[in-house]
Amino acid sequence: MNQESVTFAIIGAGTAGMRAYREIARHSDSIRLIEGGRYGTTCARVGCMPSKLLIAAAERAHQVRHADLFGVRVPEVQIDGRAVMKRVRSERDRFVGFVVETVHGFKEEHRIQAFARFLDNHTLKLSDGRILKAERVVIATGSRPTVPPLLQGLEDRVITSDDLFEWEDLPKSVAVLGSGVIGLELGQALHRLGVRVKIFGRNGRVGGLTDPAVVAEANRIFATETPIDTRARVERVERADNGLILHYFDGDNREHIETFELVLAATGRMPNVDRLGLENTSLTCDDRGVPHHDPLTGQCGDSPIFIAGDATHELPLLHEASDEGQVAGLNAVHYPEVHRYAKRAPITVIFTDPQLMIVGPGHRALSQRATPVVTGAVDFGDQGRSRILGENRGLLHVYGEPVTGRFLGAEMVGPRAEHLAHLLAWSLQSNLTVADMLERPFYHPVIEEGLRTALRNLHAKLGQEGSPGLRRLNGTVSRD
């Protein structure tokens, strides 16, 4: 039998796996990086990068269409679907190319192209028939889109984010199932690119927001432009000659029947742990099949098996996958000595227009704490810079802790949220109080002045003493 023994095996050469590889390869040459699919990572191939490329085209179309507001007349906007998708694909290929180049820079003898499956804690069966023995293993197998039972059997008309960026041209119409992060980002972009779109959510959810007031404002704003019903109930989907017929009840319980060329399933992603043969190991798993592990070490139980990235089903985000890969790699190297590493402040940005962001654990989690949470707010309707830009819509809620005055997090729908989210995440990680934050400089006229309004509002509600924004220096001024 073709069998090989090494010290380290990493399953999956995505963002987390590549990061773990780099960490381990600094210490050992006895390592194998196993990839079953194509090199290039989910982020570059079908995730962060192509989605933002599509959104960039949609934003440009939207800006040109609305140039009128500034007295700039554009007679007719035409969307060339083939040209849009050509740029998306070619820029995507460029990003993927860099990643593939990096992987090819790893030693050839370290790389295996096959799917891996556990036979026991230390034995992997590869899809090419080989057996690999490894003392320590990192699971970095990522996640994949789920398709709800409602759409099963209709696969030729159902797409996921894995398929969309391969399009040669834009379709005529798409029903988007799911108003989470992917559904909102891609649904709004397609709508702006001239595709007839309807986004179907459920329970009023928008992009993972949890603050009821911010959720309501986001729902209101998106509905002014894009056909969206986050309280719909799609009951049945059936095949038609030219697409799929959706039978659904809207938020007011009225029945509708509408035909679309395609349905985009944006109903969540599942961790790639179900085909790993984990039942052959000593690991215990949660109800999603994810091995119980310590999120701060990546270690599964007390075994020499570590897990990182989307496979953990914790925070399926790029920077988290990268950090977790590094931690898993380091701890695999030093096993049985395993260290806990602090997480960065939680941050999520959703690239809709207006953008959404969550910093910290989010409103729902904060309101479940024993100590009460105080909320400061700003409405961007009259905010100076936002109005100048014609982007004056949105709501920011900032949260603070009574007594200590500590900043706890934020949720927002509004202009340039990606930048405010970073200021706030850095403040949170630095353990700043709301008063500390107000002592920082704010230029004029900028969107950050809107943040200052929210922080002042929070400061007042927290009943903090002193004049916010001023730092009194020690001593008194003596005049002789």
Q: 12 contacts which partner out of ligand NAD, ligand FAD, none, CB within 5 to 8 A by kind?
A: ligand FAD
194 contacts ligand NAD (rule: CB under 6 A): no
Residue 268, annotated as binding a ligand? yes
The footprint of ligand FAD on residues 273-302 (CB under 6 A) is 276
**180 is an annotated ligand-binding site residue:** yes
> Token pair for residue 141?
């197998």
Query: Judged by CB, which is closer to ligand FAD: 317, or 455?
Result: 317
Contact flags string 354-373 toward ligand FAD, x per CB under 6 A: --------------------
The whole-angstrom separation of Cα 437 and Cα 441 is 9
Query: Rounded to the nearest 10 degrees, how much is the dihedral formed by the CA atoms of 382, 388, 389, 394?
Result: -10
Minimum separation from the CB atom of position 319 to ligand NAD (A): 9
SS3 state of residue 3: strand
Distance in angstroms (rounded) separating the CA atoms of residues 280 and 109? 27
Joined tokens for residue 456: 């002042």
Residue 172 binds ligand NAD, judged by CB under 6 A: no
Helices 15-25 and 318-334 cross at an angle (nearest 10°) of 30
In 97-218, the DSSP E strands lie at 111-113, 116-120, 123-126, 131-139, 143-145, 158-159, 173-177, 196-200
H or E element in which residue 424 lies: helix 417-429
> Catalytic residue at 256?
no
Taking CB under 6 A as the criterion, the residue among 9, 14, 58, 454 binding ligand FAD is 14
Q: Which of 122, 198, 269, 397 binds ligand NAD (CB under 6 A)?
A: 269
Give the footprint of ligand NAD on residues 102-141 (CB under 6 A): none
Q: Are 414 and 218 in contact (CB under 8 A)?
A: no
Alpha carbon 217 to chain centroid, angstroms: 21
CB of 351 to ligand NAD, least distance (A): 5
Of 31, 221, 349, 428, the residue at the interface with ligand NAD (CB under 6 A) is 349
> How many residues belong to the site for ligand FAD (CB under 6 A)?
35
Beta-carbon contacts of 175 under 8 Å, excluding residues fewer than 6 positions away, are 197, 198, 200, 244, 246, 258, 260, 262, 263, 264
β-pair partners for 139: 11, 307
Of 314, 271, 418, give the one whose Cα is nearest residue 357: 418
Q: Which is nearer to ligand NAD, 124 or 184 (CB)?
A: 184
Catalytic residue among 191, 292, 363, 444: 444
Q: Which residue lies nearer to ligand FAD by CB, 311 or 410?
A: 311
User: Alpha carbon 406 to chain centroid distance?
Assistant: 26
CA distance 314 to 472: 43
Among 260, 335, 351, 399, binds ligand NAD (CB under 6 A): 351
Judged by DSSP in three states, 10 sits in strand
First to last CA, the chain: 95
Counting contacts by CB under 6 A, is residue 308 touching ligand NAD? no
Stretch that binds ligand NAD, among 59-67, 75-83, 264-272, 377-385 (CB under 6 A): 264-272
- What is the four-CA torsion angle of 331, 333, 335, 338, rounded to 10 degrees? -20
Our finding on whether 53 is near ligand FAD (CB under 6 A) is no
Nearer to ligand NAD, 24 or 358 (CB): 358
Residue 11 touching ligand FAD (CB under 6 A):
yes
Q: Mark residues 213-252: x for contact with ligand NAD by CB under 6 A, - for none.
A: ---------------------x------------------
**Is 141 one of the binding residues for ligand FAD (CB under 6 A)?**
yes
Residues annotated as catalytic (active site), given as ranges: 444
Give the interface with ligand FAD as residue ranges (CB under 6 A): 11-17, 34-37, 41-43, 46-48, 51, 115-116, 140-142, 161, 182, 272, 276, 309-311, 316-319, 321
Give the interface with ligand NAD as residue ranges (CB under 6 A): 148, 150, 177-183, 185, 200-202, 205, 208, 234, 266-269, 316-317, 348-351
